[in-house]
Amino acid sequence: MSNSKYSKSEAMNRFKMECASEVGVDLKQGYNGDLTSRQNGSVGGQMTKKLVEAQMKAMAGK
């Protein structure tokens, strides 16, 4: 059982919103069908970049 105050899906959604803000994409709760593929891809790319960086740091610490 996790002692985090957020569920996994809530945490991932917060992470997604943070990454969208970093790349300048106006992501809203709910429907985002008005966004372009490029905008959506930039959010996913930023998420991947940050996850890889975190994993690399974790592996370097071992």
Query: What's the pLDDT band for 2 if we cut at 50, 70, 90?
Result: low
At 12-37, the pLDDT tens digits run 999 999 999 999 999 998 899 999 99
Q: Reduced to 3 states, what is the DSSP secondary structure of residue 3?
A: coil
10: enclosing H helix or E strand: helix 8-22
Domain boundaries of the chain, sorted by first residue: 8-60
> Following DSSP, what letter does each residue of 11-58 receive, concatenated?
HHHHHHHHHHHHTT----SS--TTS-HHHHHHHHHHHHHHHHHHHHHH
Nearest in space to 27 (alpha carbons), one of 45, 11, 10, 39: 39
- Residue 1 scores a pLDDT above 50: no
> What average pLDDT is seen over the chain?
91
